[in-house]
Amino acid sequence: MSAVVPPAAGLRFAGEPRFAWRGVMLDVARRFRPLPELMRFVDLLAAHRITVLQLHLSDDQGWRFEVRAYPRLTELGGRRSETQLGHGPASTLDGVPHEGWYRQSELRELVAYAAERGIRVVPELDVPGHASAILAAYPEFGVGGAEEVARRVREPWTRFGISDEVLNVEAETLAFVGTVFDELCEVFDDEIVGIGGDEVRKDRWRADPRTQQLMAERGIADEEELQAWFLGRVADGLRARGRRAVGWDEMLEGRDPAPDAIVASWRGPVGARLGARLGHEVVLCPDLWTYFDYRQSDDPAEPIPVGTVLALEDVAGFDPVPATEPEWFAERVVGVQANVWAEHLDGPARLDYAVFPRLGAFAEVAWTGHPLDQADFAARLPAYLAWLDERGVGYRPPGGPRLEQQRPGVPGVPRDRASRIAELERLTAGLASA
């Protein structure tokens, strides 16, 4: 039986939607959120006509999915002693333990609850990088031997950023990953399963004699190809279970790991174009337009300002598939997604502040496939904000953060758009030439 959720007041969803995949990715690995919070979030997504909730269940800072075959993943990987406070070189540690994980029964409940409201839940476990929480529990799956890994990784990472830790490529590690995804598929019924593949630091693979030996035995030319080989094995396992992988655009580095995978392109247009050219379906989630952890203005009162400015007007101006893009590209784009990374979203109030009202603009763009008429959206905004008020949503006011929403004294690292574009061009240079 479905639960009909009326659309949010002030928002407009007319005619047929342009995209079937109108998604939001929520990072519960960095910041665990209890089941009632997730259900509240699902209700809000349903009112915005969002159709996909991607749950980021593992990262360096925590493992949140109960795996019965490997209980230490949650017993040890689901808690850390403290957490980075702020961003950048002036950041500190808060001294506050953080823990939490979901029982399989809880996640089944969430899947059913979301399905009743027209939302698919796509789980994601990130491999082979972002592996500190895994290795804190099972160091034998890291690079350099179990004893050495255990010395390096005593708990999930208390800092943010990109860790050097990566899974090794032994047969036993692939078997471990396969078992974990087997249990994931028992809990989540969606055809699509996230495998990560992003921001894999390869220095440990390069320096490790055993990894180099295995690469030679398998005829793998370099570490980029090794990453694709690893992800290809994971995707093969999912395919055998009747599932398909979705991975971040880095999975195309080295070689194409899985012909049926969906490419989630977050580093600008290059990965999306390559994925489409290779025949993949593509979900667009470019960080400059869809990363809701990014700061919302240049106001120094913005709490823990990170990333480029992504104001409400910027989200409303997002053009997923400009008219200048060729038809073959437009045909491969199946959706758009807003990503909510939670390093600095340390409670429900901070989540509300980051997501709303930007989600209102995103939801309309995702429905129409076009930028919004800014004047028209601004005229409807008061009704939408009143709707959020009625539901107790602590959104960011258009004039700037309220006093209680500020975080004075907690440092951030604001970035300007030009430097970020230059960085993205550097990071995707290999994809552009592929």
- Give catalytic residue positions: 59, 130, 199
96-128 in b/e burial notation, b at 16+ Cβ within 10 A? Answer: eebeebbebeebeebbebbbebbbbbbbbbbbb
* C-alpha distance across the termini of the chain, in Å: 47
Contacts of 207 (CB under 8 A, 6+ apart): none
255 contact partners, CB below 8 Å, separation of at least 6: 225, 228, 229
317 neighbors 374 (Cβ within 8 angstroms) = yes
Taking residue 214's Cβ as centre, other Cβ atoms within 10 Å add up to 18
Structure tokens at 273: 């174009």
How many Cα neighbours within 13 Å face the side chain of 325? Answer: 18
Pairing verdict, β 244-248 and 262-265: parallel
Which tokens sit at 136? 């804190």
Composition of the chain by helix, strand, coil, percent to 5: 40, 15, 45
Q: Name the token pair of 427.
A: 């990071």
Q: How far apart are CA 146 and CA 134, in angstroms?
A: 12
Cα–Cα distances in angstroms (integers) from residue 153 to residues 74, 163, 198, in the given order: 15, 11, 20
